[in-house]
Structure 1
Amino acid sequence: MKIAIAGAGAMGSRIGLMLHAAGNQVILIDTWPAHIAAIREKGLLANLNGQEAVAHLPIYSPTELPADLQVDLIVALTKSMQLDQMFQMIQSLIHPTTYVLSLLNGLGHEDTLEKYVPKENIIFGTTTWTAGLKGPGYAELTGTGAIEMENIEPSGKEFTLKVVDVFKKAKLNPVYSDNVRYSIWKKACINGTLNGLCTILDCNVGELGNLTVTKDLITAIVSEFATVSQQEGIHLDQASVIAAIEATYDPETQGRHYPSMYQDLIKSQRKTEIDYINGAVWRKGQRLEIPTPYCAFLTELIHGKEQLLNAK
């Protein structure tokens, strides 16, 4: 399958590398000049569970895409706030038979993608894979994960099942879902605890899990997500969500991992996706007249940290 990775950062590098290794024709699209230059010079380098790997993949900035380039699938892995601009710039890639798989963190991305892609060509997904960047062109890839996906419209199921098969051959552990919106809300809820708290407390996932205050904090945040999601027909099982969060504390799985928000803000002084995670729940709560004080406070704290660090 011919696949474009729109947003070839840490997670895009992982998925692009694994799809390439399985024999697919993969191109990377990114907006970070140093990252593009490094991959063109040396290939995409990765520490993959302790083993050094390299993949020589074509990489473009959105403004460099060849006019005649076509792909079967675009995997959207930008930051949430960059999605609209990315798809404005890569419209030449999108044809009537082009599908888009969104694996972004957060909520509400269908509203953006429907401006550029027919609804029947949109696949929504969520992933538990983790990834980090050591620097331009060099990915740190540890642990294992899975991907869950589902077409928005029934007519897209045939192609979605093909994507599942392609991802299975790439050992990305995909499953076809009958209720991916539940999983997206659950993943947003997990991110809504781990990302913001690790970033504010300047710690990794395992260190967060060892704090005596953590249980009360995650319980309060999960409760707010569950109350708001119920108004959208998504009934989050709070106990199972909390159990999934607590399972990440193990240093043998994800405990040594610093979440993506931490990597963006603390390591790279980049603005975060907080408005599409806790901020989205806060805004929805305001419209529904549901109090979400923990999500509101965490959103404001992250924005304050962005200002202190002069995040761009």
Structure 2
Amino acid sequence: MKIAIAGSGALGCGFGYHLQKSGEEVTLLDNWADHIQVVSENGLTITVNGKEDNLKMNMCKPHELNEEMDAIFVFTKSMGLKPMMESIDHIIGADTKVICLLNGLGHLKTLEHYVDKKNIIMGTTVWTAGIDAPGITHFNGQGPVELQNSDPSEKEGALVIVDMLQRSGLNGVYSDNVNYTTWRKACVNGTMNALCALLDTTIEKVFSTSTIDSMLSGIVTEFATVARLQDDIKLDVEETITYLKNLADKVGAHYPSMHQDLANNRPTEIDFLNGAVAEASKRFGVEAPYCQKVTDLIHAKEDILGIPSASNS
């Protein structure tokens, strides 16, 4: 299968590596010139769960790929989805499957402007990753990649992608309610990502603080309220907090992506996470003080560092 990875940062490289190792024809797409040059000249150097490897991979800028793909995995930042879709429109055919594994909320509406709904597969992943230098990444985890086709009548298309992920070691599973897992993943990023970015530390250290229970309860309760009002998704607050703590035990040494963004002077995805919850709460006439304050603090930190926010970039 001809596969493009649209947005080949840490997670995109990890998925592309596994898919090519399993026999798929993969092209990494990105706009970071130094990253492209190193991968093109030296191959991708990647450490997967502590084991280092190097793999020769095709990599170029989106406009430089000039053939239709069978499948495209989208791994941009939330604010980069629209410009990426515009730049890869020429490689999307009538039957090209587009698999969205982005963090954040509201991406289906964006994708529907560029792709027939029958070809959009939404999903979530709990794999973690990071870039150590151009062309050098790490990729950790073993959890599921949950997928569901946006058009219920097109389940078979999603099952083909699920099978491919299983064969590549990425643990694909079909979900009958990916909206639920999307909201729960948003809770992961709205707590772990945001708090690690604000406190400038790892997941493990954030979750060992004396105030973690209060912070988790406040943020998750607000996510659960908006999920119910907006999408009729029922998130159990206590179950979600238990899930977060169990996940933190597994990936505690990790600096999540929002922390990495600030460390590298890049805008964060906060407006598509806590910010989205805070904005939606206003429409529904409910309060979301935790999410609003977290959003304000992240934007304040962006301002201090001289980073344009996602809404202004």
TM-score (norm 1): 0.96
Task: Give the structure 2 partner of residue 304 of structure 1.
Answer: 300
Residue 71 of structure 1 and its aligned partner are, at CA, apart by 1.0
- Given that 1:125 and 1:149 are in contact with CA atoms closer than 8 Å, whether structure 2 keeps it comes out as yes
Residue 51 of structure 1 and its aligned partner are, at CA, apart by 1.9
Instruction: Choose from 282, 295, 298 the match for 2:291.
Output: 295
User: Which residue identity does 1:262 align to in structure 2?
Assistant: H
Instruction: Choose from 278, 283, 293 the match for 1:282.
Output: 278
Please give the alpha-carbon distance, in whole angstroms, between the structure 2 residues aligned to 1:205 and 1:235. Answer: 26
Please give the alpha-carbon distance, in whole angstroms, between the structure 1 residues aligned to 2:232 and 2:48. Answer: 39
- Given that 2:196 and 2:255 are in contact with CA atoms closer than 8 Å, whether structure 1 keeps it comes out as yes
User: Which residue identity does 1:188 align to in structure 2?
Assistant: A
Please give the alpha-carbon distance, in whole angstroms, between the structure 2 residues aligned to 1:265 and 1:30. Answer: 20
Residue 8 of structure 1 and its aligned partner are, at CA, apart by 0.3
Task: Give the structure 2 partner of residue 91 of structure 1.
Answer: 89
Instruction: Choose from 137, 141, 144 the match for 1:143.
Output: 141
1:8 maps onto 2:8 in alignment: yes
Alignment of 1:11-160 (within 5 A): 11-66=11-66, 69-160=67-158
- Given that 2:126 and 2:141 are in contact with CA atoms closer than 8 Å, whether structure 1 keeps it comes out as no
**What is the SS of the residue equivalent to 1:31?**
coil
Partner deviation per Cα, 1:3-42 (whole Å, 9 max, x = no partner)? 1100000000110001111111111110111111111111
User: Which residue identity does 1:178 align to in structure 2?
Assistant: D
**What is the SS of the residue equivalent to 1:133?**
strand
Please give the alpha-carbon distance, in whole angstroms, between the structure 2 residues aligned to 1:143 and 1:277. Answer: 22
Task: Give the structure 1 partner of residue 251 of structure 2.
Answer: 254
Q: Which moved further from structure 2: 42-51 or 292-301?
A: 42-51
Task: Give the structure 1 partner of residue 260 of structure 2.
Answer: 263
Task: Give the structure 1 partner of residue 240 of structure 2.
Answer: 241
Partner deviation per Cα, 1:130-152 (whole Å, 9 max, x = no partner)? 11110111111233222000001
Please give the alpha-carbon distance, in whole angstroms, between the structure 1 residues aligned to 2:24 and 2:13. Answer: 14
User: Which residue identity does 1:258 align to in structure 2?
Assistant: Y
**What is the SS of the residue equivalent to 2:235?**
coil
Please give the alpha-carbon distance, in whole angstroms, between the structure 2 residues aligned to 1:81 and 1:185. Answer: 18
**What is the SS of the residue equivalent to 1:240?**
helix
Task: Give the structure 2 partner of residue 273 of structure 1.
Answer: 269
- Given that 2:72 and 2:98 are in contact with CA atoms closer than 8 Å, whether structure 1 keeps it comes out as yes
**What is the SS of the residue equivalent to 2:93?**
coil
Instruction: Count residues in correspondence.
Output: 307
Which runs of at least 4 in structure 1 moved beyond 3 Å after TM superposition? none
Q: Point out where structure 1 has 5 or more consecutive residues left out of the alignment.
A: none
Task: Give the structure 2 partner of residue 193 of structure 1.
Answer: 191
Residue 50 of structure 1 and its aligned partner are, at CA, apart by 2.3
- Given that 1:4 and 1:28 are in contact with CA atoms closer than 8 Å, whether structure 2 keeps it comes out as yes
Partner deviation per Cα, 1:264-301 (whole Å, 9 max, x = no partner)? 112x1100000000011011111111110110010011
- Given that 2:127 and 2:139 are in contact with CA atoms closer than 8 Å, whether structure 1 keeps it comes out as no
User: Which residue identity does 1:136 align to in structure 2?
Assistant: P
Partner deviation per Cα, 1:71-129 (whole Å, 9 max, x = no partner)? 11110100000000001011001110101010000100011100000011100000011
Please give the alpha-carbon distance, in whole angstroms, between the structure 2 residues aligned to 1:127 and 1:53. Answer: 22
Identity of aligned residues (%): 45
Please give the alpha-carbon distance, in whole angstroms, between the structure 2 residues aligned to 1:15 and 1:176. Answer: 17
Please give the alpha-carbon distance, in whole angstroms, between the structure 1 residues aligned to 2:243 and 2:307. Answer: 31
Q: Point out where structure 2 has 5 or more consecutive residues left out of the alignment.
A: 309-313
Residue 65 of structure 1 and its aligned partner are, at CA, apart by 1.9
